[in-house]
Amino acid sequence: KLLMHFLLFYGQYFDSQSTAIDVGGANHPEYNRYTHYQLPPFMPRRPGGTIDPVTGMFTVDPIVVYDPLEGAEGNNVARSCFAWGSIRWVFAQCYMTLSSAVERSGSSRSRTTSRSRPADEPSTSRNADKAVDDPSQETVEGMSPILELLLSF
């Protein structure tokens, strides 16, 4: 579930053009007002870019992630991330693939657990009857562990 939330957020909702990530909080505009433990890791991104000393061209970093190490404030550790658009697209596709697999597995699981036993079929004992009707006791063979984990939430 956490993986799916990560893929959904960074694949479809995170706007890297207007938002920067600062886990340490040292670059946050309200750093001196609050303790850094109370500051969110997302903050408005400063406008502008930098001039590349080699080419002399004005460049804008595709994503800004500030270095959390002490003494490295203002250092964008994601500066060399040149394929953020492709990475974001892959996150979105992974989310779509995982969510459709979970939905397919969930719908096939609900079909197998919703089938009822014929009324004329005798039950051998009360405990056996309870185990058959209780979906939490049912194991689905052939399900991958990651799918089972995602369905457990």
Q: Provide CB contacts within 8 A for 74, sequence distance 6+.
A: 27, 66
pLDDT digits (tens, 9 = 90+) for 32-71: 666 556 777 888 888 877 787 888 888 888 898 888 876 6
Count of alpha carbons within 13 Å of 128, Cβ hemisphere only? 6
Percent above pLDDT 90 for the chain = 16
Q: How many domains does the chain have?
A: 1
pLDDT of 145 reads: 63
Is the residue at 31 inside a domain?
Answer: yes
Per the model's pLDDT, the better-predicted residue between 134 and 5 turns out to be 5
Query: Among residues 137, 135, 149, which one has the least CA distance to residue 101?
Result: 149
Q: Is the pLDDT of residue 93 over 90?
A: yes
pTM: 0.59
Is the residue at 35 inside a domain?
Answer: yes
pLDDT of 95 reads: 93
Range of the domain at 6: 1-86
Is the residue at 64 inside a domain?
Answer: yes
Is the residue at 36 inside a domain?
Answer: yes
Is the residue at 149 inside a domain?
Answer: no
